[in-house]
Amino acid sequence: DYEINYDLGSLRVTNQAIINAGLPVQIGYENNATFGLQQKNFLGLRLDYLYNKHLSLGASMVRLGERPFFSKQTYGEDPIRNSMYGLDFDYRNDFPKMTKWLNKLPFYSTKAMSTITAYGEAAWLQPGHAKEVDFGEGGVAYIDDFEGTRSSIDLRFPLISWTLASVPQNSPDPFGGIRFPEALLKDSVASGYNRAKLAWYNIEPILQEKNNSNNPLQRELTELSKPETRRVLSQEIFPQRTNDLGQGVINTFDLAFYPKEKGPYNFQYDVDPATGHLKQPKKAWGGLMRAIDQTDFETNNIEFIEFWLLDPFIRKQGSAGGELVINLGNISEDILKDGKRQYENGLPTPTQQNIPLDETNLAKVPRNPIQVTNAFSNDPEDRPFQDVGYDGATDTAEQRMFANYLNRLGNVVGTSSPVYQAAAADPSADNFKGYRDAAFTNKTGILERYKNINNPHGNSPVATSNDQFTNAFTL
């Protein structure tokens, strides 16, 4: 009536009468996993003993066993080891007296030999389980291990989801006032006066291995053992966890905050003349932000934020410290608070010069707010004019845009000072520098290597066969 294709898992009805009937066809089958990982074996044994020509005795045994690959089995999929035993007999003999008795009946007569036959059997089942799930007095199967009841969002990955944060708004200070009043400013260079330097990154594992020849710091054992940059083993945090091969090291999410140093797009000129540092680092802030796709935490059973934090003052015990603030909700994406939408691939280039721009006090932005594509120009010569960061300006253009800032800074620190020279070379302080940049030596530490890894100006260069750089992406 039907044919089964076990390779495709399909059934084809061949009985035309069933097809022509036009009635629903109900198919019943034993529900076994299509891709079972358990090895099965079936064993049968049969013994027959002929006692005499009339009586025979028999015994039988069958066993079905399953061998799992893992000792942890869920209910309904637990491996069995069932045995069934049976005994039977068969007796057959002539019974001539029965023929004589029947012939005495007035309406019956026969000459055939009568026979007597007796047959019986008994069986019993001995259920069992595989020894791989034998814990204690019997087998163990898990009704629910509750592993699927916890939903989590790993905020470490992908790293490119994080970007420079906008100025925190409505953040109260301990006295009930506004902690960052510059957040109320619009299209003003003063809106970033308190932005300090913050870097976020995942350290390349090779830079934490002392026996790796590709690690420029392999001989710097002091650098490799620093609490801020050393690798963290899973057993340090989860001593009872059994890790798979190659999963013993935790890929940490590192934040390096420099409250005294100015962050990108901070045009504060009233700084320490000797170092260029901010005069009030306790008022400084550094931030990063990202989008979270799952916004309905209740439906997704997300109830708390969990993280392990390395003591940032492990080298300086008793420090007053700072604050780590986590904001969930609606966060402004206007990083440079000018009310404009910036996208780098909308900036003019030598091959596309007639693109209209709007110039604010903070940036040059495309006049068209609609970003058609998120890809740079196909012409490699255009990349230096588009991969320029959130202010939409090259270093030369920044010198013109923020000439007033440079003049004021020169009056404070002196135009011949290293502080001024560094600011004049990159007024917005947004130039990207990869952690394997050729300017670094074998003595350059990990913190210094990653200090400018998040800067958006020049973080997406054109790849060539001879280039050695770290790729990054502008959001």
Amino acid at the residue 117: T
Q: Please tell me whether residue 257 adopts helix, strand or coil conformation.
A: strand
**pLDDT above 50: residue 470:** no
Does pLDDT of 327 surpass 70? Answer: yes
HSE of 402 in the Cβ direction (CA atoms, 13 Å)? Answer: 30
Angle formed by the axes of helices 418-425 and 403-413, to 10°?
170
Give the residue-averaged pLDDT of 170-195.
Answer: 91
Rounded Cα distance, 166 and 287, in Å:
8
Of the candidate ranges 60-64, 184-188, 231-235, 296-300, the one whose mean pLDDT is the lowest: 296-300
Angle at 164 between CA 161 and CA 170, to 5 degrees: 110
pLDDT of residue 37: 56
Among 49-58, 62-71, 423-432, the minimum mean pLDDT is found in 62-71
| Percent of the chain whose pLDDT exceeds 90 | 57
**pLDDT-derived band of residue 464, with 50, 70 and 90 as boundaries?**
low
Q: What is the pLDDT of residues 350-400, one digit of tens each?
A: 988 899 999 999 999 999 888 888 888 888 899 999 999 999 999 999 999
Q: Higher pLDDT residue, 76 or 224?
A: 224
pLDDT of residue 134: 82
pLDDT given at position 13? 85
Sign of CA dihedral 363, 367, 369, 371: negative
- pLDDT per residue as tens digits for the range 9-47: 788 888 887 777 767 777 776 655 544 556 888 999 999
Tell me the mean pLDDT in the region 423-445.
Answer: 96
Domain boundaries, the chain: 38-139
The stretch 297-310 carries a mean pLDDT of: 86
Q: Which residues contact 442 (CB under 8 A, 6 or more apart)?
A: 216, 217, 219, 220
Going by C-beta distance under 8 Å and a sequence separation of 6 or more, which residues neighbour residue 236?
none
Mean pLDDT over the full length of the chain: 88
Where is mean pLDDT largest: 13-22, 147-156, 172-181, 185-194? Answer: 185-194
The predicted-structure confidence for 233-252, as pLDDT tens digits, reads as follows 999 998 888 777 778 899 99
Site of tokens 């013109």: 400
- Across 79-97, average pLDDT: 92
In angstroms, the CA 310 to CA 406 distance is: 38
What is the mean predicted confidence (pLDDT) over 310-336? 86
Angle 197-202-203 (CA atoms, 0-180°, nearest 5)? Answer: 95
Give the pLDDT band (50/70/90) at residue 83. very high
Average pLDDT in the 85-113 region?
Answer: 88
Q: In the structure encoding, which two tokens stand for residue 455, read together?
A: 């800067």
Task: Dump pLDDT digits (tens) for 147-164.
Answer: 666 678 899 989 999 999
User: Which comes out higher in pLDDT, residue 432 or 310?
Assistant: 432
**Tell me, what's the pLDDT at 294?**
84
pTM score, whole prediction: 0.70
Please state the rounded mean pLDDT for residues 249-257. 94
70 pLDDT higher than 50? yes
Identify which of 13-27, 253-267, 329-343 has the greatest average pLDDT: 253-267
CA separation for the pair 411, 420 (Å, rounded): 10
CA torsion through residues 185, 187, 188, 192, sign: positive
